[in-house]
Each structure stands twice: as C-alpha cells, then as structure tokens.
Amino acid sequence: MMSSRTFSLLAPVTLGIIILGIWEGICRFWHIPPYLMPSPSAIWRALMLDGVALLHALLITLEITFAALIAAVVGGVLVAFLLVQSPLIERCLMPYVVIMQVTPIVAIAPLIIILIHNTPLALTACAALVAIFPVISNTLQGLRSVDPDLAAYFQMHKASRLQTLIRLRIPSALPMFMAGLRIATGLSLVGAIVAEFVAGTGGNSAGLAYQILQSGFQMDIPRMFAALFLITVAGLVLYAAAASLQRFALRHRP
Amino acid sequence: MSSPVLSLASIEKVFPNGVRGLSPVDLTVEKGDFVTLIGPSGCGKSTLLKLIANLHTPSGGKMNWWGGNFGDVGRKGRRMAFVFQDATLMPWATIAKNVRLPLDLEKVDRSTADKRALAALERVGLGHVTEHYPAQLSGGMKMRVSIARALVTEPDLLLMDEPFGALDEFTRNRLDEEMARLCYEDGLTTLFVTHALHEAAFLSSRVMVMAARPGRIHAEYEIDQSILRNEEFRLSDQFAGISRELAILLEDASRESMIQQEMRA
Ligand SMILES: Nc1ncnc2c1ncn2[C@@H]1O[C@H](COP(=O)(O)OP(=O)(O)O)[C@@H](O)[C@H]1O
Ligand SMILES: [Mg+2]
C-alpha cells in the first residue's frame, strides 16, 4: 500500500505528465507554430539554449525578492510593535497602513522608480511595499493573541514589561508572525516581478520580468515560457522553504 | 494564636460597568485550611479569587495578608500561587521551563531553579517528563504541571479556580486525592473554587456556599479536618451525609439567587 504522503506527491506529478503529453501531442499533430503556442519540448530547448542568461536574470530577481522580504519583515515587525504600544498610536497610524495596502503597487511603482534613482533599490522598495502588509497585520494580531490567563499569571508574578514581552508576547505572536512571513515570501516575488515590469530596465542587471518583456517583443514565445517556468519553480521553492521554516518554528505546538 | 493567612472584611466589588460582582464578603483562611467556595455560576467566585490575587481592586472593605498589609504579598517570603481552570502552560516551552517560570521571573539562578522545578514535578508524580512539551501530555498531566508550577514557589496560599472542571471524573478524583495529600499531609493552605459538590465534600475543611446577584456568602459549613481523605472516605456514609447537607445548602443558595433575579426582572 502507498503511504498517503507518497500518493499526494505522485498524484499531481502524474497529472502534470499527462497534461504535458497531451499538450505536446496537440502541438505536433496540428503543427501549431511556436509563436502561437510552443510545445513543452520547444520550451525545454529554449531553456537549454538560453539557460545561463535566464538563470542570471532569475538570480537578480531573487536578490531583489530577498532584500524586499528582509525589509518587509524588519519594517513590518517594527511597525507592529509600534502600533501595539498604545491605542492612540494605532488610531493615528492604522489608516495609513490600510491606505498603503489598498493602493495597487503598479500605480505607485512608477513614482517610486522616479523618486529613487538607484534601480535595484527602487525595485526592492516596491516589492517590500507589497510584502509588508501581511507582516504588519499578522504580527499585530499575534502580539494581541496572548492567552488572557497567562497574561494574568505574569501580572500576578509581577513580571516586568521586558519579561512579559520576551517570555510571553513574542512567543505568543510567533504562530501568526510565521503565517504572515509565508504570505510575505510569495508577495515579495510577485512585488519584485511587478516592479521589474514597470521599471522595464534592461542591461546587465535585468531580472526575469525584463527577459519576459524582451522575449515578448522579439516574439520568442518559447523563451517567454522558459522564463515563466523559472519564476514558477522559484516561487514553489520559496513557498516550500517558508512552509518548512514555519513548521520548524512551531514544531512543539499543538 | 498566630494571625490568619488571609482575612477579608466586608470586601465588595462593583465593576466599572455597574455590575455588582460581590456584595460585602467576610472570609478568613487559617494556616492549613482547605477552604472551598461553591455556588451557582456568576455568583462571584472567580471575582473573589481575582481580588485576592490582586488582579482586581476591591471597591470597598479591608484585606489582610498574615495580619499585615496586602502589599506584603511576595515580600518576606510570603507567597500566593494561582491555578486556573485550564492548565495555562506556555506551549512553546518544555515542562521544566514551564514549572520554572515563576522562579525565572524572580531571577532565581538557573541551577537552583532547575532543582526546585524537578522537585515540584516529582511531588505531582511527573519527574519523568521534564523535557516534554505540553502538547505531548494529557489534560490531567497538564493540570499536574500547573500544580507543580504553583508548588515550586512554596506558596503560603494556593488559589485554585475550578481547576479540574474540564477533566473526566476519574482523573478528577485522582487529582482530588493528590490535593488532599498536599493539604492535609504537607500543610498547604488552599482556597479552592468548584461547582462540583462532591469535590467540595471530599476536599474541604470548610465550605463557603455562595449565592448570586449580588455575589455573597450564603452559608458556611465545617468538615472535620482529621478525616482521612481517601477512597474509603469517598465511599463512606459520612461522605454521603456531608454531600447531602451541602446539597441542601446549595439548593437554598441557588433558590435565593433565582428569587433575587425575579425580583429585579
Ligand atoms: N470584568 C468584569 N466586568 C463586568 N462584570 C463582570 C466582570 N467579571 C465578572 N463580571 C460579572 O460578575 C459576576 C460574577 O462573575 P464571576 O466571578 O466570574 O462568577 P463565577 O466565577 O462565580 O461564575 C457575573 O455576573 C459576571 O458577569
Ligand atoms: Mg468562574
């Protein structure tokens, strides 16, 4: 008998292979030109042919993604700690946090790119803006999700503010924070790519989004798919890494 | 005679929203007492315990701690400990760290704290799970850990708010026997809240029957301290007699609570 884990891995992989097979078959049988719909084998050839350049572009995008993620986590946690200090601070600041969240990044990205001359920095700022909101809201909710009886226990034992923060509030906030971090990881990648699209920067420091744009201009659709494939793989790896980190950090909790 | 561990004189509590949690309550707990508060829900049992634990401030009356001011709690080595209805453990910390918490908060040095935590866990029969996490233990074991966390500070008064209410009857009976041992053999002074009549009859040296709306003490019932609280006692006619008398008092109290409610309606 197959274990349920093996099955849950094997089933989607099998489905994927079947779909790729059908796709390949359709493209070959009807001789669909690659600029309309490239076959999986054509995409694979494009990936092999241009792999080094595409991987280089992927690394650039990932650099921006990680820088944005770190900025979003540090900034988001700081903002959450600030907000939780007093109801007054929260009243004053929260509307702006929400405004920031509801403004589409594509709408403010051009402004940020004009304001910040250093392109990688501008891209990082855009991506961080996309990713920061779940960090803020989750950390905030986490810092508030302290078990009231445990909080009373700390109060009864005359725990200082610092002791309560370190021994109670931060560990209590961890599950929510971790969920926020996982969302932010995915959003950082989305943000980085959206910002690259808007910036449209070429040259040596061009990320994957630029490669997609360029392939589009040149009608090199297989290469476009190859770049898309790399982004998807990167997204999956990031998601898996964040999920493992979350599981590890919360391994002792029910 | 030495001064009582705790004495409350005309203690009242009116909540900021105007709800009258407690009308004047008098209560004295002597060293070695096992006092139980029993009554219908909403009669102010938790409120009274929280007042004593300094989580609420009374609206009136006078509270004394070892004959002195209430500010002395924790000083001069006179301590209180609190056990909640849920075990209220930190899920992210090992059992040893959970039990050590009150000592850590007092900045007791690490090796002393570890030794005392282990000793407290051994007292509740859990010396072998120090490195486990709360999620790995059963409800009854978690409650024992919670009791160990209270014992580790060598409290002069242990406050317990319906501590075994969420447990099955067998587990509850075992823990009741353990509490009886801690109190009647080791001399732990306890103020215990329950809504289970048999638990009150089994454990207490004194039962305070409370009535609601507003919360007050309706009757007081003494039980001979020298009775051995064991399985035999639980099956005895004496236990049945105590339970019956308590049931009558409790019935009385809840009827009065109802009348008060109807008069207000
Ligand atoms: N913080 C509070 N604010 C207002 N009313 C409260 C508060 N805490 C308790 N009460 C009220 O006081 C009464 C006694 O509550 P409580 O002490 O929890 O009862 P018990 O523990 O006996 O069930 C109840 O009517 C409850 O609604
Ligand atoms: Mg209660």
The mean pLDDT value for A82-106 works out to 88
Residue A147: inside a domain: yes
Please report the DSSP string for chain A in residue order: ---HHHHHHHHHHHHHHHHHHHHHHHHHHTT--TTT---HHHHHHHHHHHHHHHHHHHHHHHHHHHHHHHHHHHHHHHHHHHHHH-HHHHHHHHHHHHHHHHS-HHHHHHHHHHH--SHHHHHHHHHHHHHHHHHHHHHHHHHH---HHHHHHHHHTT--HHHHIIIIIHHHHHHHHHHHHHHHHHHHHHHHHHHHHHH---STT--HHHHHHHHHHTT-HHHHHHHHHHHHHHHHHHHHHHHHHHHHHTTT--
Residue with tokens 């089933």: A11
The mean pLDDT value for A81-93 works out to 90
The mean pLDDT value for A55-71 works out to 95
Give yes or no for a contact between B210 and B36, defined as CB atoms under 8 angstroms apart: no
ipTM over the 0.90 cut-off: no
Residue A8: inside a domain: no
Locate the ligand 1 atom nearest the alpha carbon of residue B39 and give its number. Answer: 22
Chain B, window 80-139: residues with a beta carbon less than 8 angstroms from a chain A beta carbon: 80, 82, 84, 86, 88, 90-93, 101-102, 104-106, 133-135
Considering its fold, how many domains does chain A have in total?
Answer: 1
Residue A16: inside a domain: no
Residue A238: inside a domain: yes
Residue A30: inside a domain: no
Residue range of the domain that includes A79: 42-249
Residues from chain B that touch A156, judged by Cβ atoms under 8 A, are 53-55, 80, 82
pTM over 0.95: no
Instruction: Answer with the residue of higher pLDDT: B186 or A68.
Output: A68
Residue A111: inside a domain: yes
Alpha-carbon radius of gyration of chain A: 23
- pLDDT of B131 > 80? The answer is yes
Provide the token pair at B260: 């008060």
B2-16 pLDDT, tens digit each: 788 888 888 889 999
Residue A96: inside a domain: yes
For residue A148, what is the domain's CATH number? Answer: 1.10.3720.10
- C-alpha A47/C-alpha A17 separation (Å) is 18
pLDDT of residue B1: 55
| Closest Cα in chain B, distance from residue A244 (Å) | 17
Sheet holding B34-38, edge to edge: B80-83, B157-161, B190-194, B34-38, B206-211, B216-222
pLDDT of residue B54: 85
pLDDT of residue A35: 84
Residue A5: inside a domain: no
- pLDDT of B75 > 70? The answer is no
| Closest Cα in chain A, distance from residue B61 (Å) | 21
